[in-house]
Structure formats: C-alpha cells, structure tokens
C-alpha cells in the first residue's frame, strides 16, 4: 500500500467537504515515514485547508492555516521539481484569505502574503499577472497597516 494514496484520499475528501476523513488520511500519512516527494508538499497544502478560518474572528485558526501552507511553500522551494506547489499554495491562500481583505484586517496578512509573493518569484515559469495581483494586494495591506515605508 503506497502512502501517497493517503494524500490523494485526503485531497478528495477536502474537495468533497469531508474534513474529518481528510484529517484521518493525513494522520495516517504523517504517522508513517512519508517519502520526500511531491506528496509531502501536497499533504501540507491539504492540511492547511483543514484550518480554513470561518471568520476573521478566528485568528488562531488562520495562523494554523498559514503554518501548514508555509510548510508546503518551504518544502517546494527546496527542489525545482516542486515549484508547482508554490503556485498551488498561492491559489489556496488567495481563496481562503478573502474574508481578511478588508480594512483593519489586512495587516494580519502581511507576513504570510510577503512569503507567498517572494516564493512566486522563484518559480521557473512565473505567472507574472498572478504575481502582480498578489503584489498589489500586499501593497494594500501595507497601506492599510500604515506601513508606508515598507510598501
């Protein structure tokens, strides 16, 4: 039985809204000694989605989401073969942070969005429009936090 199947199962379970099943699959995957391949990064991405904050009031859950997502990005930065995971992470990140894109909350996005934008610059085949869109949002975050020099 290949441990990669746990990740495939977890990804499908997340897509179908079966978060508990996804969590169990990931627990079984991480309980073993997962091989260092794309499925490790994909497992971190899947894990991050289990911590999707339901509102801006739950910053602790947002931090758990970011921690798992950044693990996937850091893993991908270690090997060019996995750079596609950086783009995937940025799409997941963008989808989940939408509730935070309002005045007073953007400042919470600065550290993680900075990491995502920086990582996207490493990708071999950059989607420059996508990266620019995230950079513009990062500028909005800095302006919202009154960090004009950093912007």
Question: Whole-prediction pTM value?
Answer: 0.90
Report the C-alpha gap between 64 and 66 in whole angstroms. 5
Could you tell me which residues come within 8 angstroms of residue 142 by beta carbon, excluding any fewer than 6 positions away?
110, 148, 150, 151
- Is the predicted pLDDT of residue 148 greater than 80, yes or no? no
Q: What is the mean pLDDT of residues 51-58?
A: 85
Please give the structure tokens belonging to residue 91: 């799409």
Whether 89 contacts 116, CB under 8 Å: yes
Please give the structure tokens belonging to residue 84: 């596609």
Structure-token match 């302006």, residue found: 143
Report the C-alpha gap between 132 and 100 in whole angstroms. 19
Whether 43 contacts 10, CB under 8 Å: yes
For residue 151, the model assigns a pLDDT of 58
**pLDDT band for position 19 (cuts 50, 70, 90):** very high
Could you tell me which residues come within 8 angstroms of residue 124 by beta carbon, excluding any fewer than 6 positions away?
80, 83
Report the C-alpha gap between 151 and 135 in whole angstroms. 10
Structure-token match 């996508």, residue found: 130
- Is the predicted pLDDT of residue 48 greater than 80, yes or no? yes
For residue 102, the model assigns a pLDDT of 85
- Is the predicted pLDDT of residue 100 greater than 90, yes or no? no
Report the C-alpha gap between 34 and 32 in whole angstroms. 6
């Amino acid at each position: 039985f290949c441990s990669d199947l746990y990740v495939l199962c977890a990804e499908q379970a997340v897509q179908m809204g079966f978060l508990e099943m996804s969590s169990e699959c990931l627990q079984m995957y991480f309980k073993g000694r997962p091989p260092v391949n794309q499925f490790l990064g994909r497992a971190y991405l899947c894990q991050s989605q289990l911590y999707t904050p339901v509102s801006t009031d739950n910053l602790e859950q947002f931090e758990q989401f970011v921690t798992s997502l950044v693990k996937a990005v850091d893993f991908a930065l270690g090997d060019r073969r996995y750079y596609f995971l950086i783009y995937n992470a940025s799409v997941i990140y963008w989808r989940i942070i939408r509730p935070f894109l309002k005045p007073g909350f953007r400042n919470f996005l600065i550290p993680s969005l900075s990491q995502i934008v920086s990582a996207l610059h490493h990708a071999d085949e950059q989607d420059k429009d996508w990266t620019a869109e995230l950079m513009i949002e990062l500028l909005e975050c800095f302006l919202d936090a009154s960090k004009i020099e950093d912007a």
